[in-house]
């Protein structure tokens, strides 16, 4: 490990910035892993996302006041409220021949 007392102020600032970026990246990785594990546990228990969260509560739902209108059955965390651009997962499903009604909540 580097002796921090031998670094210049600029080197310390660079190190701090790099450490901050790395911490954010690791936090995002951990979040994705936790989401995956939660969904896996729900499925393995024989439940659906809606069984466990009947009000549609999801991380995305808390950020928006609009109600979720469409949900990806392959990944219930992927939702769309029907406003703005369609999300990639929905565009790909529609291009594969699925209908929008198949994803309605």
The domain limits of the chain are 8-47, 48-105
**The residue to which tokens 């580097």 are assigned:** 2
Look at residue 80 and give its three-state secondary structure. strand
Round to the nearest angstrom and report the end-to-end CA distance of the chain: 53
The 10s digit of each residue's pLDDT in 20-68 is 999 999 999 999 999 899 989 998 999 888 888 877 665 555 555 789 9
- In Å, what is the CA distance from 10 to each residue of 7, 13, 14, 18, 32? 8, 5, 6, 12, 33
The 10s digit of each residue's pLDDT in 77-104 is 899 999 999 999 999 999 999 999 999 9
Please give the pLDDT value at position 62: 53
User: Span 48-105: which CATH code?
Assistant: 4.10.430.10
């Amino acid at each position: 490990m580097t002796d921090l007392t031998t670094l210049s102020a600029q080197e310390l600032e660079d190190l701090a910035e790099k450490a901050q970026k790395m911490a954010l990246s690791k936090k995002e990785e951990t979040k994705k892993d936790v989401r995956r594990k939660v969904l896996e546990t729900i499925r393995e228990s024989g439940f659906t996302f809606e069984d466990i969260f009947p009000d549609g509560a999801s991380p995305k739902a808390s950020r928006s006041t609009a109600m979720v209108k469409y949900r990806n059955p392959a990944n219930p965390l992927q939702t769309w409220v029907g406003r703005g651009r369609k999300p990639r997962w929905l565009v790909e499903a529609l291009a594969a021949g699925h209908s929008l009604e198949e994803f309605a909540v």
